[in-house]
């Protein structure tokens, strides 16, 4: 008989291997299916809005002029959050990874992670009840002394429930994301490169600038983008803190609104065309988040050659 | 300046553990000194105490004195950063900065401490350092390319160029060829021979032929057993250490009878 003896396998577990690879494939497909399902839901439900009479849409001037102010509001709130949280998060992460004594660093790391465990509604309540009244005093000062800047134009909100307060609350919320991701990356810096820098007479700061930060660059961008993703989509905290309204340039007056808060505040009473409107707003938020991620990936890939991966 | 190093009664500790005990050694200026010995005998640890790089490891400390031209490195007023600027180091595995170009790698140490350097000065320093490391002809057309794209041997020569660019007085090398092929090893050894005209070179190696080929003087380190401190057993002219050692353990080691 001329059967190929190599086709007969004496090792067991071949079927186990197949089952496992099938399971991973299914898990991978499931993610895609969910993603496409959500996207399809958003598009189908939002469709009526594009054929509707512009005067029927909230504001009476079509979907474009309805969505534009809240897109800008969303971007302002998220940018404030990121501007505050990124440098702060990198600083905290560097302290934990390279400056703090080892025992202190560990406890401190847990503490920062704990910040992420606080529910967003609690942040919202804190921002509303504690932070906003405190900041209102500062806003009064800003309006008096820096009022010539459009972003600090008075009259300042008496309650402090402004887009700047919302941005600061968001910053506190995204801080643990940025910090813990950056810290993990900083800790992975090859000792080889840190020692290379130290051995030529670099101080600790110079070593961090020469070896740690370049190595962690892509990681920091991803951390910031993940933080931005949370800041863009955060609903409850903004809905509680911000006393929303029309788009204004001033960050210390009431006014402005974010997409997520707009949807949350209006969804329970919405039906018909209004419902489609809110879902279309959700679609816009989805597209913004997607764009942010694509841009982040592009930034990371631009310097691939110098990343040390080759 | 003569760039000699004198070590007096040096003990190295990791927390409470005594890693290297009672080393006395005088390293000649402008010569190559090799440290040999079995793994774990403390020769790398000792080498790192010569530019205070062991302090990177938490809990590491020394007792005793290391004098560079008579100045104690461990004087309480001395900043380790200054010491490392004078005494450069090349590591076991080539470690150019992956995010920097070849040119920036060479200039990395020079640009520290916010030192300003004009472009033409930088250009000539890059060329001089890379020529000094026998790498110029291989990389002169791709100075803007990442240093991590070079071969292992080229990367190690880049690291040597980076070390000599800051014009140190002494260069320490911790098994610089252990990750390299024989051709690259030969290139580094030739380079070490040229370097001793200007610098004091101290090299740790596991390769006894290498020690015999490149060094003027050789120090043999050994430990009595696991958990015991490493000691300097014998130090002398390389030819003496290899051909006519005074101590039995040295003879056993260099003749390959143990280790």
Alpha helices, DSSP H, located in A213-271: 213-233, 236-241, 259-266
- Does residue B184 register a pLDDT over 90? no
- Measured distance CA(A136)–CA(A123) in Å, rounded: 18
Which of A199, A211, A310 lies at the smallest CB-CB distance from B97? A211
* pLDDT tens digit sequence for A98-156: 998 888 888 888 888 888 889 999 999 999 999 999 999 899 889 888 888 888 887 88
pLDDT at A308: 53
- Does residue B113 register a pLDDT over 80? no
CA atoms within 13 A on the CB side of B135: 30
CA dist list (Å): B1 to A267, B5, B25, B70, B169: 81, 12, 19, 11, 9
Instruction: For residue A211, give the DSSP letter.
Output: I
CA dist list (Å): A261 to A151, A199, A212, A256: 22, 53, 38, 11
Helix A259-266, helix A272-302: angle, nearest 10: 160
Burial letters A198-213, b for 16+ CB under 10 A, else e? bbbbbeeebbbebbbb
Q: How many helices (H) and strands (E) does chain A have?
A: 13, 0
Which of A102, A192, A200 lies at the smallest CB-CB distance from B108? A200
What does pTM read for this prediction?
0.81
Query: Does residue A104 sit at the B interface (CB-CB below 8 Å)?
Result: no
Interface test with A, best of B97, B129, B162 (most A CBs within 10 A): B97
What DSSP string runs through B157-203?
A: HHHHHHHHHT--SEEEEESTTTTS-HHHHHHHHHHHHHHTTTSEEEE
Name the residue among A91, A73, A255 with its Cα closest to residue A159: A255
State which residue of chain A sits closest to B52, comparing Cα positions: A199
**CA Rg, chain A, in Å?**
25
Q: Are the C-beta atoms of B209 and B179 separated by less than 8 Å? A: no
- Measured distance CA(A176)–CA(A109) in Å, rounded: 9
Alpha helices, DSSP H, located in A132-162: 132-145
State which residue of chain A sits closest to B100, comparing Cα positions: A306
What phi and psi values does residue B20 have, to the nearest 5 degrees? -135, 130
Element of type H or E holding A181: helix A163-187
Q: Are the C-beta atoms of A97 and A109 separated by less than 8 Å? A: no
- Measured distance CA(B154)–CA(B252) in Å, rounded: 35
Lowest mean pLDDT among A153-162, A187-196, B68-77, B109-118: B109-118
| Pairwise CB contact (< 8 Å): B84 & A217 | no
- Measured distance CA(A168)–CA(A78) in Å, rounded: 9
**Closest approach of chain B CAs to the CA of A189, in angstroms?**
11
* pLDDT tens digit sequence for A248-294: 888 888 888 899 999 999 988 888 888 999 999 999 999 998 898 88
pLDDT at A217: 87
Helix B182-195, helix B152-165: angle, nearest 10: 20
Q: Are the C-beta atoms of A201 and B109 separated by less than 8 Å? A: yes
Burial class (CB in 10 A: 0-12, 13-18, 19+), B77: exposed
- Does residue B259 register a pLDDT over 60? no
Contacts of A208 in chain B (CB under 8 A): none
* pLDDT tens digit sequence for A233-252: 888 899 999 888 888 888 88
Which of B84, B95, B100 lies at the smallest CB-CB distance from A201? B84
- Does residue A46 register a pLDDT over 80? yes
* pLDDT tens digit sequence for B122-176: 999 999 899 888 899 999 999 999 988 899 889 999 999 999 898 899 999 999 9
Lowest mean pLDDT among A51-65, A194-208, B60-74: A51-65
CA dist list (Å): A197 to B132, B156, B198: 20, 15, 23
Interface test with A, best of B53, B82, B109 (most A CBs within 10 A): B109
Which of A198, A203, A308 lies at the smallest CB-CB distance from B98? A308
pLDDT at A131: 93
Beta bridge partners of B7: B25, B66
What DSSP string runs through A56-74?
A: GSTTSSHHHHHHHHHHHHH
pLDDT at B114: 58
Beta bridge partners of B65: B8
Total Cβ atoms within 10 A of residue A72: 15
- Measured distance CA(B123)–CA(B131) in Å, rounded: 12
pLDDT at A1: 58
Mean pLDDT value across residues B44-61: 91
Burial letters B87-119, b for 16+ CB under 10 A, else e? bbbbbbbbbbbbbbbbbbbbbbbbbbeeeeeee
Query: Does residue A310 sit at the B interface (CB-CB below 8 Å)?
Result: yes
Instruction: Give me the total of CB pairs closer than 8 Å, taking one residue from chain A and one from chain B.
Output: 88
**Closest approach of chain B CAs to the CA of A84, in angstroms?**
27
What phi and psi values does residue B173 have, to the nearest 5 degrees? -130, 120
| Pairwise CB contact (< 8 Å): A308 & B162 | no
| Pairwise CB contact (< 8 Å): B108 & A210 | yes
């Amino acid at each position: 008989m001329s059967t190929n003896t190599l086709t007969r396998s004496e090792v067991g577990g071949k079927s186990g291997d197949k089952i496992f690879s099938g399971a991973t494939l299914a898990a991978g497909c499931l993610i895609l299916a969910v993603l496409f399902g959500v996207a399809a839901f958003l598009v189908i439900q939002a469709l009526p809005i594009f054929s509707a009479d512009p005067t029927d849409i909230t504001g009476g001037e079509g979907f474009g002029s309805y969505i534009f102010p809240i897109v800008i509001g969303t971007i302002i709130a998220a940018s404030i959050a990121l501007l505050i949280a990124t440098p702060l998060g990198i600083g905290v992460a560097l302290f934990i990874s390279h400056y703090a004594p080892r025992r202190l660093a560990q406890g401190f790391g847990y503490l920062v992670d704990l910040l992420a465990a606080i529910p967003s509604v609690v942040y919202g309540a804190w921002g509303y009840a504690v932070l906003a009244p405190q900041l209102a005093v500062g806003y009064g000062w800003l309006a008096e002394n820096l009022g010539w800047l459009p972003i600090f134009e008075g009259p300042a909100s008496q309650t402090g429930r402004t887009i700047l307060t919302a941005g600061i609350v968001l910053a506190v919320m995204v801080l643990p994301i940025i910090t813990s991701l950056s810290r993990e990356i900083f800790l992975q810096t090859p000792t080889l490169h840190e020692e290379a820098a130290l051995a030529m007479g670099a101080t600790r700061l110079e070593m961090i600038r020469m070896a740690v930060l370049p190595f962690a660059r892509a990681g920091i961008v991803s951390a910031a983008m993940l933080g931005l993703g949370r800041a863009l989509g955060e609903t409850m905290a903004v809905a509680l803190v911000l006393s929303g309204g029309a788009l204004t340039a001033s960050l210390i007056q009431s006014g402005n609104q974010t997409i997520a808060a707009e949807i949350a505040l209006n969804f329970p009473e919405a039906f018909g065309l209004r419902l489609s409107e809110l879902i279309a707003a959700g679609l816009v938020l989805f597209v913004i988040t997607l764009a942010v991620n694509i841009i982040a990936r592009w930034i990371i890939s631009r310097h691939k050659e110098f990343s040390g991966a080759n | 300046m003569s760039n000699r190093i004198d070590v007096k009664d040096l003990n190295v500790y990791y927390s409470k553990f005594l890693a290297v005990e009672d080393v006395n050694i005088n390293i000649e200026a402008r010569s190559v000194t090799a440290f040999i010995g079995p793994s774990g005998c403390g020769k790398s640890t000792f080498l790192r105490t010569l530019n205070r790089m062991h302090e990177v490891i938490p809990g590491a400390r020394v007792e005793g004195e290391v004098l560079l031209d008579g100045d104690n490195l461990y004087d309480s007023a001395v900043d380790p950063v200054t010491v490392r600027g004078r005494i450069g180091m090349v590591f076991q595995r080539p470690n150019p900065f992956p995010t920097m170009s070849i040119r920036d790698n060479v200039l990395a140490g020079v640009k520290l401490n916010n030192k300003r350097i004009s472009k033409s000065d930088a250009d000539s320093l890059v060329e001089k350092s890379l020529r000094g490391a026998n790498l110029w002809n291989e990389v002169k057309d791709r100075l803007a390319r990442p240093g991590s794209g070079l071969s292992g041997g080229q990367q190690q020569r880049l690291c040597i160029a980076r070390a000599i660019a800051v014009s140190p007085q002494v260069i320490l090398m911790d098994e610089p060829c252990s990750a390299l092929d024989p051709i690259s090893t030969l290139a580094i050894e030739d380079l070490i021979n040229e370097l001793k005209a200007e610098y004091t070179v101290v090299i740790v190696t596991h390769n006894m032929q290498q020690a015999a080929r490149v060094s003027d003087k050789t120090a043999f380190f050994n430990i009595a057993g696991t958990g015991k401190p490493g000691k300097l057993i014998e130090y002398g002219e390389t030819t003496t250490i290899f051909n006519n050692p005074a101590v039995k353990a040295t003879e056993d080691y260099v003749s390959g009878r143990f280790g």
